[in-house]
Chain A
Amino acid sequence: MPPILEVDNLRTWFHTAAGPAKAVDGVSFSIEAGQTLAVVGESGCGKTVTALSILQLIPRPPGEFVSGAIRFDGTDLLKLSRDELRQIRGGRIGMIFQEPGTSLNPVFTIGDQIAEAISLHRKIPKSALRQAVLDSLKAVRVNDPERRIDQYPHELSGGMKQRVMIAMALSCNPQLLIADEPTTAVDVTIQARILDLLRQMQAERGMAILLITHDLGVVAELADHVVVMYAGQVIERASVNELFANPRHPYTRGLFASLPRVDRKETRLQAIEGSVPAATHFPEGCRFRERCPHAGPECLRSPELTVLNAAHAVACWKHEELHVCAPAVGR
Chain B
Amino acid sequence: MSAPLLSVVDLKKHFPIRAGLLGRVQEWVRAVDGVSFDLALGETLGLVGESGCGKTTVGRTLLRLTPATGGQVVFGGQDLLALSGRALRQARRRMQLIFQDPYGSLNPRMTIEQIVGEPLGVHRLARGSERQDRIATLLKQVGLRPEAAGRYPHEFSGGQRQRIGIARALALEPSFIVCDEPTSALDVSIRAQIVNLLQDLQRERGLSYLMISHDLGVVRHISTAVAVMYLGRIVEQAPTEALYDQPRHPYTRLLLAAIPIPDPRQRGRRIQAAANTAGDDAVPSPINLPPGCPFHPRCPLYQQLGRPESCRNQVPELVPLESNPRHVVRCHFPHETETVAAGPRVAATS
* Residues of chain A having any CB pair with chain B under 8 Å: 42-43, 143, 157-160, 163, 187-193, 195-197, 199, 214-223, 240-241, 244, 254-256, 258-263, 265-266, 268-273, 275-276, 329
Contact = CB atoms under 8 A, between A and B. Distances in A.
Interface in B252-306: 254-268, 271-272, 274-276, 278, 280-283
B187 A262 contact: no
Given A42-B187, A160-B281, A272 B266 contact: no
Contacts of A218: 260
Contact of A163 (B160, B187, B281): B281
B258 A192 contact: yes
Contacts of A159: 281-282
Given A163-B281, A196-B271, A272-B193, 6 more contacts: A43-B158, A187-B283, A190-B281, A223-B264, A329-B262, A329-B263
Nearest to A330: B263
Interface string B207-220: 00000001111101
A244 B261 CA distance: 11
B258 A191 contact: yes
Size band of the interface chain B makes with A: 35 or more
A262 B46 CA distance: 13
A265 B259 contact: no
A101 to B, nearest CB: 12
Nearest to B282: A157
A261 B282 contact: no
A64 B136 CA distance: 44
Contacts of A187: 50-51, 214, 283
Contacts of B140: none
Most A CB contacts (10 A, CB to CB) among B50, B160, B217, B244 go to B217
* Max count, chain A CB within 10 A of own CB: residue among B218, B240, B261: B261
Contacts of A220: 260-264, 266-267
A263 B278 contact: no
Contact of B196 (A215, A262, A269): A269
23 contacts: A157-B283, A158-B281, A163-B281, A187-B214, A187-B283, A188-B214, A188-B258, A193-B281, A195-B275, A196-B272, A214-B187, A215-B260, A220-B264, A223-B264, A259-B217, A260-B222, A261-B261, A262-B244, A268-B199, A269-B192, A272-B193, A276-B187, A329-B262
B274 A271 contact: no
Give 9 closest A-B pairs by Cβ, nearest first: A217-B260, A159-B281, A196-B275, A258-B192, A272-B189, A271-B192, A42-B187, A260-B217, A269-B192
Contacts of A262: 216-217, 220, 244, 256, 259, 261
Given A187-B214, A195-B271, A259 B281 contact: no
Contacts of A160: 281-282
Nearest to B143: A273
Contact of A265 (B157, B189, B221): B221
Interface string B223-254: 00000000000000000110010000000001
A269 B256 CA distance: 20
Contacts of A275: 157, 159-160, 190
A255 B214 CA distance: 20
B201 to A, nearest CB: 14
Contacts of B264: 220, 223, 240-241, 244
B261 A217 contact: yes
A187 B214 CA distance: 8
Contacts of A268: 196, 199
Contacts of A273: 193
A100 B124 CA distance: 47
A203 to B, nearest CB: 11
A225 B254 CA distance: 28
B94 interface: no
Contacts of A329: 262-263
Nearest to A219: B262
A143 B283 CA distance: 14
B50 A188 contact: yes
Nearest to B263: A220
Nearest to B260: A217
A67 B336 CA distance: 62
A147 B171 CA distance: 55
A261 B220 CA distance: 8
Nearest to B200: A268
Contacts of B22: none
B77 to A, nearest CB: 34
Nearest to B274: A192
A158 B268 CA distance: 23
B19 interface: no
Nearest to B220: A262
Nearest to B241: A265
Nearest to B191: A258
A192 B218 contact: no
Given A160-B281, A192-B271, A256 B51 contact: no
Nearest to B157: A275
A284 B241 CA distance: 46
B281 A258 contact: no
B258 A244 contact: no
A270 B195 CA distance: 10
Interface string B173-209: 0000000000000011111110110010000000000
B213 to A, nearest CB: 10
A244 B262 contact: yes
A126 to B, nearest CB: 30
Contacts of A241: 264-265
A266 B195 CA distance: 12
Most chain A CB neighbours (cut-off 10 Å) among B51, B215, B260: B260
Given A187-B214, A266-B221, A260 B192 contact: yes
A327 B160 CA distance: 29
